[in-house]
Amino acid sequence: GENVEQHPSTLSVQEGDSAVIKCTYSDSASNYFPWYKQELGKRPQLIIDIRSNVGEKKDQRIAVTLNKTAKHFSLHITETQPEDSAVYFCAASDSGGYNKLIFGAGTRLAVHP
C-alpha cells in the first residue's frame, strides 16, 4: 500500500516570508495529491489539490508542484500571514482503494508577525 512521508514536522517563518512543505510517496500508481489545512481545534479542510497529469497548480498565494518521476510533491505558500498558522497535511491516493487517501504526518506551520 501507499506510504507518505512529510517534512518538516514543524516550520517557523516570519510574516511575509515563503514556506515550503515537501512530501514523498511510495506508490507510483497514485494519481491524486490533495493538501489539507487544520487550524487548532478545527477539522481538516482542503486547500489545494493536484492530479498526476499536471505538474504545477496555483491558487493565489498557494501553489503545489508534483514530480511523478521522483515521486514527490510540495506545497508553497508565498507572502505568509499569521492566519496561515496551522497544521498542513499532504495526502496521496492509494491505488488499492477507490478514492482512498493516505495522509502524511503533518507540518505545524507558525507564522510570526
Partner 1 sequence: GAGVSQSPSNKVTEKGKDVELRCDPISGHTALYWYRQSLGQGLEFLIYFQGNSAPDKSGLPSDRFSAERTGGSVSTLTIQRTQQEDSAVYLCASSGGDSYNEQFFGPGTRLTVL
The contact set with partner 1 (CB under 8 A) reads: 1, 6, 32, 34, 42-46, 49, 51, 89, 93, 97-106
Minimal distance, residue 61 CB to partner 1, in Å: 20
Report whether 107 contacts 9 (CB < 8 A): yes
Nearest of 97, 95, 105 to residue 36 by alpha carbon: 105
Minimal distance, residue 100 CB to partner 1, in Å: 5
C-beta closer to partner 1: residue 5 or 79: 5
Residue 9 is which amino acid? S
C-beta closer to partner 1: residue 1 or 82: 1
Terminal CA-CA length for the chain? 41
- Distance between CA atoms of residues 26 and 19, nearest Å: 24
Coil, helix or strand for 101? Answer: strand
Minimal distance, residue 12 CB to partner 1, in Å: 16
C-beta closer to partner 1: residue 74 or 93: 93
